[in-house]
Amino acid sequence: MNPTTWFMEATYLVASILFVLALKGMSHPDTARRGMFLAEAGMFAAIVGTLIGTHIVTWTWIIAGLAIGSIIGAWMAIWVPMTAMPQRPALSHAFGALAAALVGIGEFVVRGTQMGGVTRGALGFEIMLGALTTTGSLIAASKLQGIIEGKPIQFRGQNIVNFTIFLAMVACFAAFWIHPSAHIAFYSMLGIAFVFGIMLVIPIGSADMPVVMSLLNSYAGLASAATGFVLGNNVLIIAGTLDGFSGLILSILMCKAMNRSITNVLFGGFGAVIAEASSNAGGVMREISLDDAAMQLAFATRVVFVPGYGLATAQAQHAVRELAELLESRGVSVKYAIHPVAGRMPGHMNVLLAEANVPYSELCEMDQINPEFPTTDVAVVIGANDVVNPDARDNPKSLIAGMPILEVDRAKSVIVLKRGQGRGFSGLENPLFFKPRTTMLYGDAKSSLTHLAQAVQHV
């Protein structure tokens, strides 16, 4: 083994170890930042090892790619607002999957007929997963951004059509695998995979986007692993496998948090329903004044804040932290209740609150905080809807029946901060808003929390 090859393999080993440690670090909020730094170091080592250990024909395109990619990445990291954070990983999945698909096309053009059966099979999986993840991720990002309507786009016989498209894609894969010179089969497989990615995601409602994001992350990782097999690149195999299976595990956990199965998410079209499916909702929403809400909070013993996507939309994480610190200075016990699928991606609320330097010790998971709601004086719901809907617990006919929720309706008093009387992302009405112990504080969440803090100071 010559020195450059030895150096490349050594850096790949170091990168693989760093990726494993990074994944372990990102499993807990206290070590997540360190995990990200380890992942960055691992990727840097893999890039350096590849550039030094590979014969480079020309550096022009490599340098151009590094420069353009770094500029785009820095722009996304610095200027993309937290409200658009779910769309950012969706675009990242699309970019990564497209890169895998382009590498696969290049390998087919250069040495398609010279590949062995195993390598050719890996190439087919790389192309299929890369192509469908690219378009699927773009559709997911478009739904989250509001470019495409968030509700499921469905038509009669859609699952049969999708299954037919899937069979056609697999048939083209089989034809290419058996006959490596079958260019028509290869490019047909590529085109059908792009179409299948679109058809796979458009019937899924925005309420299920956390699971879709995890699944697309898994697909992108597996596409990268398949690319590693095609190129004989060990670090791609390891990193892609870690990414793929961690995404799959996260998808399963997300489905468990919503009492759903992955097949139900993919083929159920959740989110196409309207309020009539929630039979326990009805009555009058009682509005509360700012001064009355401030009075309740100021003289409470225990307050629990329940953040939702409305918190992200209003960029209110700093305002809620300031209000919480003010209450704590008055001797009030403050905690934050975090639902696993609150927001538009896994961990969305954790990221927002961490940005505002909220202590992790005050963040409580659903199983931890639910037993404490009966002794909570005031539960403040900030832009959350479906994750606090008691129909999931009380109405067996509800489409979210059985989904674990934050049981804020058991608190002594509930104040809901909302812009208006609209429904949640699922389209279901929430009977919590009509309960006698619930009051509504309408307006922008950031403005409401800021004015609440000012009012509390004068109590």
Question: Annotated catalytic sites, by residue?
Answer: 386
DSSP tag of 287: B
Dihedral (CA of 360, 303, 343, 203) sign? positive
- How far is 335 from 337, CA to CA, in rounded Å? 7
Nearest to 118 by CA among 34, 8, 230: 230
Answer for the pair 58, 71: CB distance below 8 angstroms, yes or no: no
In this structure, is the dihedral angle defined by the CA atoms of residues 78, 84, 86 and 88, taken in order, positive or negative? negative
**Integer Cα distance of 235 and 237 in angstroms:** 5
Sheet holding 438-442, edge to edge: 363-365, 333-338, 302-307, 378-382, 414-418, 438-442
Q: Which two tokens stand for residue 269?
A: 């079209």
Q: How many CA atoms lie within 13 A of 42 on its CB side?
A: 21
CB atoms within 10 A of CB 40: 12
Consecutive H or E run containing 334:
strand 333-338
Q: Residue 157 region, left (φ>0) first, then alpha (ψ -120 to 50), else beta?
A: left
